[in-house]
Structure 1
Amino acid sequence: MRAGLVEARACRDISVLIGHCVIANLEGHNGEFAKAFAELAEAERLMHIWDVPPIYYLAMITLVKCELWLAQGRTDLAQAWLARLGQTYTGDQAAAAPEFHPQLPLHIELQQALLDSIQGAPALAEQRLDKLVEHGRESGRQMLNVMALNQKVALWLAQGRDPEARQAFAQALEAAVGGALQPFEWAVRAHPAWVREQLQQGPATPLRQTLLERLPAAVAREPLEQHHGEALSSRELAVLQLIAQGCSNQEISDQLFISLHTVKTHASHINSKLGVERRTQAVARAQELGLLG
């Protein structure tokens, strides 16, 4: 992609906007937020130098920024700018979407649903996602469908609605037969044991196999009861993975969309089940048991 960007820049092809936005999105998923925002700044700089009217690029860049802000927990910024985007591109008198992002209004709704869930309005988030799933199916926009279904999985797992989460995950796998991997990355990272269970229950497909290969090597391969007491739940394993990565309670809360109190409760249960007293001891014990790959 970098090589393509160099070539596009040489001939002043404004499709570099798409490349920089995609790279920024990928870097955001990897937690490289400084690099992600630098990509967007470079895209905006080029558009300005080339005298491209803001209507062609500004909304697209702003939406990616909103996604990054939500991932960082900066909900105030995301809320303010999503509101502006929504006023412009959604509703009865909406402006036409930019040429490079015809699905912009739908992706604004996706991010708004995520914001709703983070701000404690799961019913509103679910309502938005239901509409997006329906629209994706009826219009043949499979990627939109897969993204909305994965957000429903996250929403329902956070509420303890496991049967609905399982159904939505199966639907997302079916809709993603073309090989769309990125919408599933959050689940692989946050709920590896739960994902492994879902993938192993269904028929073998290239997508399922690829997702299985992306899971931490030792996740859920053997029950913890063989080693010490009661098994960790999938959510406790997700919290443990993030603790091992050095995440603070607030960072874990932001990534898993759960309250700080819930994070502390999970951490306490993890220590109890592993027979330790501190986070560092829990990580060391989990490594001994092969729970962290």
Structure 2
Amino acid sequence: MLDHANLFIVPLDEERCWYRYHHLFGDLLRQRLRQTQAEQLKELHDKASEWYKQNGLIDQAIEHALKSKDFDQAAYLIQSQIDVLWQRGEHGKLRRWVQALPEDLLLTEPQLGIIHAYYLHTIGEYTSAEQLLQRIEWILDPHGNGDEVIPSLECKHLLEIDRLKLTGRLSLIRALIYSFDGNVKGIIKQANRALEYLPEQDLTWRNLSGFALGDAHSYLGDMAASYDARFTTLRACEAEGNIFYIILAALKLATTLREQGELYRTRDLCNDQVRLAEKNNLAEINMVGCIRTILGEVLAEFNDLERAIQHARQGVKIAEGGQNLVFLSMSYLYLMRVLFSKKDLEGAKEVFDKVLRLERDMTIPIWLSSQMATWQVKFWLLQEDLKAVSNWADKRGILVCGDQHTHESIDHLSMIDHIVYARVLFAQDRMEETIQLLRHLYKTAERSGRISRSIEIKMLQALAYQSTGQTEQAMESFEHVLNLAEPKGFIRIFVDEGQPMASLLYEALKREITPEYVQRLLAAFPVTEPEGVTSTKSQVDQSGLIEPLSEREIEVLQFIAKGLTNQEISNKLFLSMHTIKTHTRNIYSKLGAHHRAEAVAKARAFGIL
């Protein structure tokens, strides 16, 4: 009767053999118990934990053991679930359980301590993570380090095979921690040590070594080796059938592909992983959020800005719901770039300030610190605060005219610093130094296979030559970069440079250098819509023209700049094709242009668009 009246109890099965209290009634009973018989709470939690364990409901058994503060029982049960949860990527649950255990238990049960150290490093507490790993290492091998022995905590209950496996896992976690501060030698040493100790059947942990080695190659600037390590790891995860780590391996591979300038492959890989995550109910985990922001950034480079901002914002929202500093930081950086391309500088600055708050609250990875410095300098340059950027360069210790060895030894992180410093030199009109620095940087980027960086460097070099009147050198560099960028699909990297880039593109068009690609790039430049009503369009200063454009001709020209065909313009304006063609001929004649892209470029030069 209580069941049918929906009072107090809720059925758990269709046969109505199992019931639970309605959650409101359950809350009332628990409150009453705490008020009247609090001394029975521990006993009841102990009984509940044991009952759940006997019936194979281990998650509930752990929850009750933790509530009763029976930490030994909780630790025993958690260890029985570690590998299952780790393989499934259920880190939120495992993190919460391990954090609830006392520190001494994390040392006497090293497997739990190693897991806890991993979670400490994901939230930026690297020092605490390393200290915990050191203590566990002494416990696993109290005489191996020769520094400190903790005999009271020696794990004598461990079999030798388990001790070796835990040593391998500890080494792997340390390799991942070293990835945060760019300690390449440490990464390689610890990752290889992990592979030496981990048993062959411990596939998930062995595959994680591939993540660390991919990071090491990336820091060294060897993108081909980084790609090989990350691609091999992805295939190994696929062979194991572990969906969580397939997605994680794909995320790592996507960052390498993006650095190699493989925009189409990056886009396709990210789309595949989003679909895979949705199919397996993993769409809301933070690394999938990060993948969405990578996808958004690539779409922004393709100039698909509306879809880009949609994916990037959705990705950040997901990443903010997790507890992984790396995924959250990466997501913020990719969103910043999308906002920057949309000319939403205020929005980009807001995201930048969020990352600054993260930096104040915890230790951040070295690569994030470098990327943040780059964005800070970009904002200073926009504000024309050259004093601030000069102080930044002095603090970073950047050399411009050092010897050949200095430039050849530029690694990935210092390359990012040097590229942004080249922009500083450009802004200070120190063109000779700018060109010299860019020449060295291009050699390094080309040698390491960083195509995206190579394109940016060569493009800046062309702009620097142009600003000094060295047109032939500018066009030689520019032709090279256009040939490099066209098959990859780059657009916004050019457009975001503004009017100086439009002038270079116009000159390239005159010389018939990759004309179709150049016209696509020119068409991507934003049309500056004049404020006010339509009638103000004809009030643009056209004094440089032999004959000013009419209001209707400006309107047609704006549609041409947006890439519309004559038929599309005809439909928009409800005019005949003949009339549109007449307006177009008049526009060409008045601007001295021979085709659409040239007309758009000249109109922008005159300030009409």
Task: Return the TM-score normalized by structure 1.
Answer: 0.63
1:128/1:56 CA distance change after superposition, 3 Å: closer
Q: Deviations over 1:131-169 (max 9, x none)?
A: 111222222211111111111122112111111111111
How much has 1:186 moved relative to structure 2? Answer: 4.3
Contact 1:113 1:129 in 2 (8 A): yes
* Aligned pairs, number: 221
Whole-angstrom distance in 2 between the partners of 1:18 and 1:156: 34
Contact 1:153 1:169 in 2 (8 A): yes
Q: Say if 2:520 is the partner of 1:210.
A: yes
- SS of equivalent to 2:608: coil
Contact 1:28 1:68 in 2 (8 A): no
Partner of 2:318: 7
Partner of 1:146: 455
- SS of equivalent to 1:227: coil
Output aligned runs, 1:123-272, within 5 Å.
123-176=432-485, 177-199=487-509, 201-203=512-514, 207-215=517-525, 226-227=546-547
Whole-angstrom distance in 2 between the partners of 1:150 and 1:210: 17
How much has 1:106 moved relative to structure 2? Answer: 0.8
- SS of equivalent to 1:15: helix
Partner of 1:16: 328
How much has 1:74 moved relative to structure 2? Answer: 0.7
1:6/1:86 CA distance change after superposition, 3 Å: farther
Runs of 4+ in 1 over 6 A off after TM superposition: none
Q: Say if 2:418 is the partner of 1:109.
A: yes
Whole-angstrom distance in 2 between the partners of 1:36 and 1:9: 17
Whole-angstrom distance in 2 between the partners of 1:138 and 1:54: 25
Whole-angstrom distance in 1 between the partners of 2:364 and 2:501: 43
How much has 1:120 moved relative to structure 2? Answer: 3.1
Whole-angstrom distance in 1 between the partners of 2:489 and 2:526: 20
- SS of equivalent to 2:488: coil
How much has 1:129 moved relative to structure 2? Answer: 0.4
How much has 1:38 moved relative to structure 2? Answer: 1.7
**The one of 377, 401, 405 aligned to 1:66:** 377
How much has 1:26 moved relative to structure 2? Answer: 4.4
Q: Deviations over 1:28-71 (max 9, x none)?
A: 4555444322211112324555x444646333212210122112
Whole-angstrom distance in 2 between the partners of 1:78 and 1:15: 28
Contact 1:86 1:108 in 2 (8 A): no
Whole-angstrom distance in 2 between the partners of 1:225 and 1:56: 51
Whole-angstrom distance in 1 between the partners of 2:460 and 2:412: 17
- SS of equivalent to 1:57: helix
Percent identity at matched positions? Answer: 16
1:81/1:155 CA distance change after superposition, 3 Å: same
Whole-angstrom distance in 2 between the partners of 1:187 and 1:63: 16
Whole-angstrom distance in 2 between the partners of 1:291 and 1:121: 28
1:48/1:188 CA distance change after superposition, 3 Å: closer
**The one of 394, 399, 404 aligned to 1:83:** 394
How much has 1:23 moved relative to structure 2? Answer: 3.1
Whole-angstrom distance in 2 between the partners of 1:225 and 1:170: 30
How much has 1:5 moved relative to structure 2? Answer: 0.9
- SS of equivalent to 1:12: coil
Contact 1:47 1:57 in 2 (8 A): no
Whole-angstrom distance in 2 between the partners of 1:31 and 1:212: 17
Q: Deviations over 1:80-108 (max 9, x none)?
A: 123323469xx999xxx9xxxx7321121
1:169/1:118 CA distance change after superposition, 3 Å: same
**Radius of gyration: which is bigger?**
2
1:128/1:87 CA distance change after superposition, 3 Å: closer
Amino acid at match of 1:79: S
Q: Any unmatched runs of 5+ in structure 2?
A: 1-311, 529-543, 549-601
Contact 1:166 1:198 in 2 (8 A): yes
- SS of equivalent to 2:489: coil
Q: Say if 2:440 is the partner of 1:120.
A: no
Q: Any unmatched runs of 5+ in structure 1?
A: 219-223, 229-285
1:204/1:195 CA distance change after superposition, 3 Å: closer
Q: Deviations over 1:92-129 (max 9, x none)?
A: 99xxx9xxxx7321121111112122223211111100
- SS of equivalent to 2:390: helix
Whole-angstrom distance in 1 between the partners of 2:450 and 2:373: 22
Contact 2:465 2:473 in 1 (8 A): yes
Query: After the TM superposition, which of the residue ranges 17-26 and 51-60 deviates more from structure 2?
Result: 51-60
Whole-angstrom distance in 1 between the partners of 2:423 and 2:496: 13
Query: With CA pairs under 8 Å and 6+ residues apart, which has the higher RCO, 1 or 2?
Result: 1
Contact 2:482 2:514 in 1 (8 A): no
1:16/1:126 CA distance change after superposition, 3 Å: same
Task: Return the TM-score normalized by structure 2.
Answer: 0.32
1:194/1:203 CA distance change after superposition, 3 Å: closer
Contact 2:483 2:514 in 1 (8 A): no
* Cα RMSD for the two superposed structures: 3.6
**The one of 30, 33, 37 aligned to 2:349:** 37
Partner of 1:292: 608
Whole-angstrom distance in 2 between the partners of 1:38 and 1:166: 38
